[in-house]
Chain A
Amino acid sequence: MYENKTTGYLYIAPFLLGLATFTLFPFLSSFLLSFSDYQLQDPVAQANFTGLTNYREMAADATFHNSLWVTFLYVFVTVPLKLAFALFIAFVLNFKLRGIGFFRTAYYVPSILGGSVAIAVLWRYVFAGDGLINQVSIWLGGEPLNWLGEPGYALFTIVLLRLWQFGSAMVVFLAGLQNIPTDLYEAATIDGASKWRIFFTITLPLLTPVIFFNFIMQIVQAFQEFNGPYIITGGGPLKSTYLLPLMIYEEAFKYFNVGYASALSWALFVIIAIFTVIAFTSAKYWVFYGSERGDKK
C-alpha cells in the first residue's frame, strides 16, 4: 500500500536486527566452531582451528551412526503415521454430526499439552512396568512388556507420544477439507462418480497444499525432537532413543565438546535442508493450487 521505503524498513527493522544477531551470526559461528576444538568449560582457552577433524571423527563415530539411524527411523515412522491418522480423523469429522466441537477439542487438547515436560513425565508412568499400558494389557489378557527397558520398544513410546499429538495437523486438514467448494462434489455426484473416485480425484488433489504444509512442519519438528528422549528414556536403553538433538545437547553441555557438537548440529541442519529442498522442488509435481481448479473438466 505505501511506497515509502524508509518507513517500511523501520517497521521490519526489529526483524532485521534479530535476524543478524540471533540467527545469522550464530548460524555462521556454529559453522566456524565445527572446524575447531573449542571446549565449553574453559572460557580462556583458545579455540584451535582443527580443519576437518570433527567431521572425520563423525564419519568414524559409531554413536553418531546409531543416532543418525534412530533419528531417521523415528522421523520416517512418526511423520507418515501422524499425517495419515490426522487426515483419516479429519475426514471422519468432516461430516454433519452432532458434537463435532466436542471431538475436535478432545483431539486437539493433547497437541497443546503434549510438548510439555508434564506429559513426558506422564508417559514414563503410562509405559512403566506397572504402568497404565501394561495394566490394560493384563486386563485384556495380554502379556506385560518392558516398554522402556527394551531397545526395540523404547523408541516406539516416543513415536506414540507424538502420534497422540495429531490434533494440530488434523485441525489444519479439517480446515482444508471445509475449504473445498461443495459444488465440485455435487457435480461429481451427478456425474455418477463413486466415493473413492471423488476422494482421489477431488478431495485429495485439492488438499495437497495443506498436506504439503503439514508435511514440511512435521518433518522439521520431528528432526528436532528433544523432550521425549531426554525425559522419557534418557536416550536409552542402549542408545536406542539417542536422537541427534539429544546427542548434540549432551556433546555440548554434558561433555563440553562444543566443536564436535557444532559439527553434529551442522550435519542435522544439512539433513533437514536436503529434505526441505526435495519437498519444495517436488511440490510443483504434486501440489495443486486453487488456480488449477478452473482447468479441470
Chain B
Amino acid sequence: MSATDFSATPATPATPRRDVAWMGRFNASLRYGVLLLVGLIMLYPLLWMVAASFKPNHEIFGSIGLWPQEPTLDGVISGWRTGTEYSFATYLFNTFAFIIPKVVLTVISSVLVAYGFARFNMPGKRIWFAAMIGTILLPKSVLLIPQYLMFRELGWLDTYLPLYVPCAFATEGFFVFMIVQFLRGFPPDMEEAAVIDGCNSLQVLWHVVVPVIMPAVISVALFQFMWSMNDFLYPLIYLSSVEKYPVALALKMAIDVTEATAWNQVLAMSTIALVPSLVVFFLAQRYFVDGITSGSVKG
C-alpha cells in the first residue's frame, strides 16, 4: 500500500516551474509546523504528569516547566502506597486477575464465531450477522441494570465473574467483526486443500486459519487488554470490597481520600496506572493501527 501524497505531486501546470520547488519547501515546513505544534499540545499534559510525579507539591503549582528543580521520589513512593490500606501492587494484581481471563476468552470465542460467520453458509446467517452489528451499536446502559440483577441472582456480586464470563460468548461484536473482515480478505483455497487432505473443520481452523489470521487475533487481544485496563463502570457496579479493586477504582478512591493536597502523589499514581498500557502499546503498536483500520477500510 503506497502512500498517496497528491500534494507532493508536481503542482498544477499553471504554476511556473521555478516556484514549484519553493512551494514544495514552504508546504513541507507548514506541515511540519502544524504537526509539531499539535504534537506538543497533545503530549504536554502527559509529560507534565510524569514530571509532576518527581516534583515536590509546591513546585507543581509554581511552574509550567517540566524538569523538576528539586527532584524527589516522595510522590512516587506515597503514590505506590496509595494512601489506602493496600499498595499499588494489590490493585495491579487484581486488575490482571480479571483482564487475563477476559482477553483469553474474548480471543477464543471471537475466533470461533468469526470462523463460523466467514466460512459457513447456514440459513439465517445474515440475520445473526446483522444482530451482531446491532450489538456494537447498542448502548451499554440499556443492558446494565438487568445484567446487574441477573448477576445478583447468581450470587456473583463482588466477584470478577460478571467482568469476564460474558466474554466467553463473543459479546463484543466489534472483535468478531474485525476478524471476519480480516478473514474475508483471504480466499479459502488453502482451507479447501486441507479439507481434501482429510482435515475436519476444527483442524482446518487450528492448522490453516489461525496462523493466517494471527495479526487480527493479536489486535483483538491488545484492544481488549487496553479497553479493559480503562474500564471503570463495570468494576464500579460489581465490586464492593476494596481488597478486590482494580487500578481504575483504586485511583478514584485515592483521589477522594487525598484530594487537593498531595498532587504529586495522585499524579504519580496516575502515571504508574498508565505504565502497563504504554508498555504494551509500544511493544506492539503496528497491531493497533492495523486492527483499528481493518474494520473500517477493507469493509
Which residues of A line the B interface, CB within 8 A? 1-5, 7-12, 14-19, 21-23, 25-27, 29-30, 33, 43, 89, 92-97, 103-110, 112-113, 115-119, 121-126, 128, 130, 132, 135-136, 139, 164, 168, 171-172, 175-182, 185-186, 189, 192-195, 198, 203, 209-210, 213-214, 216, 220, 223-224, 226-227, 230-231, 244-245, 248-249, 252-253, 258, 261-262, 265-266, 268-269, 272, 276
Q: With A1-B120, A8-B121, A12-B113 given, can you name 6 additional A-B contacts, CB distance below 8 Å?
A: A4-B120, A14-B109, A22-B169, A118-B270, A125-B267, A139-B64
B21 within 8 A of A: no
Chain A residues with Cβ below 8 Å from B135 are 19, 23
Chain B residues with Cβ below 8 Å from A29 are 146, 149
B161 within 8 A of A: no
Question: A7 CA to B186 CA in the complex, in Å?
Answer: 21
State which of B69-77, B96-104, B288-296 sits at the interface with chain A.
B288-296
Query: Is A117 a contact of B232 with CB atoms below 8 Å?
Result: yes
Chain A residues with Cβ below 8 Å from B7 are 95, 195
B230 within 8 A of A: yes
Q: Chain A residue with minimal CB distance to B150?
A: A26
Q: Taking each of A10, A15, A135, A244, which has the highest tally of chain B beta carbons within 10 Å of its own beta carbon?
A: A15
B283 within 8 A of A: no
What per-residue 1/0 map shows which CB atoms of B61-87 lie under 8 Å from chain A?
A: 101100000000000000000000000
Chain B, interface residues (CB within 8 Å), range: 35 or more
Query: Is B122 a contact of A8 with CB atoms below 8 Å?
Result: yes
Distance in angstroms from B287 CB to nearest chain A CB is 12
Known: A43-B152, A172-B293. A14 touches B112 (CB 8 A): yes
Distance in angstroms from A37 CB to nearest chain B CB is 14
Distance in angstroms from B183 CB to nearest chain A CB is 10
Which residues of B line the A interface, CB within 8 A? 1-10, 12-14, 28, 31-32, 34-35, 38-39, 42-46, 48-49, 52, 61, 63-64, 109, 112-113, 115-117, 119-123, 125, 128, 131-132, 135-150, 152, 166, 168-171, 176, 188, 191-192, 201, 226-227, 229-230, 232-233, 237, 247-249, 251-252, 255, 260, 263, 266-267, 269-271, 273-274, 277-278, 281, 285, 288-289, 292-293, 295-297, 299
Query: Is B137 a contact of A220 with CB atoms below 8 Å?
Result: yes
Known: A117-B232, A121-B255. A17 touches B169 (CB 8 A): yes
Q: Chain A residue with minimal CB distance to B251?
A: A117
Query: Is B285 a contact of A105 with CB atoms below 8 Å?
Result: yes
| Chain A interface main SS type | helix
Chain B residues with Cβ below 8 Å from A21 are 166, 169
Query: Is A5 a contact of B123 with CB atoms below 8 Å?
Result: yes
Q: Chain A residue with minimal CB distance to B285?
A: A105
Query: Is A231 a contact of B4 with CB atoms below 8 Å?
Result: no
